[in-house]
Amino acid sequence: MNPYFKVSDEVKQAVQHNRPVVALESTIIAHGMPYPQNVETALRVEHTVRDRGAVPATVAVLGGVLTVGISKAQVEFLGRNGTKTAKASRRDLPVILSKKLNGATTVAATMIAADMAGIRVFATGGIGGVHRGAEATMDISADLEELARTDVAVVCAGPKSILDIGLTLEYLETKGVPVLGYQTDELPAFYCRESGFPVDARMDTPVDIARCMHAKYTCELHGGIVVANPISREDALSEDEMDSFIQTALDMAEAKGIRGKKITPFLLETVKELTHGRSLKANIQLVLGNAALAAEIAAEYCRLNAL
């Protein structure tokens, strides 16, 4: 028994019987969106996963226990508590667990929990990466190191637009992490469908992605996979428009001396204000799209494992 780790009965049974499960993070609930949109979105994402035949497994730290598969009431608690809940990445987990605190798991921490629970597919909004100006600040997300070491496929809308996408791709290449484009040859950039950078390989169906996962993990080629799923055309924002907003937000962050963990929530909130809420709508829609694709990939991966 691990006193710091818990998996819900539903998730445990699904994993044990080779049924599809999709891990979901909780930072997007506590830090990524305002209340009540955060709770509404989290529950919609779980429903989307269920509608496609998979079990949702939202991850969070609750009272010092890293929990895989939290309840609706616990989602509501995280949403209401918002940024009062600690942001939990790999570095933070030992402190949060030992002090019996609550924590909203980042991409990195959610990957850790998913791997511990035997879940191989995880849906999120966008991954962290190398921040703009990292050559001076060394601000690089722990998400990238986790992708290098942990056997989970992360379905996302690419790196967040606020990042240096070229350097993020270079980092992932160095760490041996495949970047797969779902029905696209170009890496999406969160709110935008295009980034100007190619993916490592295009995959046109969930079956193709599941086969890639199966080959990688059967051969024990450890580490994650980035599955980049572009936001729909009707919900996307233009690249030029976003570049302008992001630069304004970066300038504001620099003027206020905002760095480290606080930078991403600040930039996302500022961009939301600059776009008059359009970026929040886009964020919600892309997360739902990623959850749907993740459920389909998880189902196909389970079929391959049953052969």
Print the SS3 string covering 29-84. Answer: HHHHCCCCHHHHHHHHHHHHHHHCCCEEEEEEEECCEEEECCCHHHHHHHHHHHHH
DSSP one-letter code for 176: T
Answer for the pair 62, 70: CB distance below 8 angstroms, yes or no.
yes
The rounded distance, in Å, linking the Cα atoms of 78 and 90 is: 19
Angle between helix axes 142-149 and 165-174 (nearest 10 degrees) is 30
Number of C-beta neighbours around residue 175 at 10 A:
15
Distance of alpha carbon 107 from alpha carbon 228, whole angstroms: 14
Catalytic residue among 6, 25, 272, 300: 25
| Active-site residue, 100 included | no
- Is the peptide bond preceding residue 198 cis, with omega within 30 degrees of 0? no
Cα(27)–Cα(9) distance, integer angstroms: 23
Task: Output the CA angle 53-59-62, nearest 5 degrees.
Answer: 140
Residue 46 annotated as catalytic: no
Burial class (CB in 10 A: 0-12, 13-18, 19+), 101: middle
Q: How far is CA 102 from CA 41, 72, 170, in A?
A: 20, 16, 34
Q: Could you please report the per-residue DSSP string of 181-236?
A: EET-SB--BTTBS--S-B-SEEE-SHHHHHHHHHHHHHTT--S-EEEE-PPPTTT-
Catalytic residue from among 6, 12, 87, 160: 160
Catalytic center residues: 25, 160
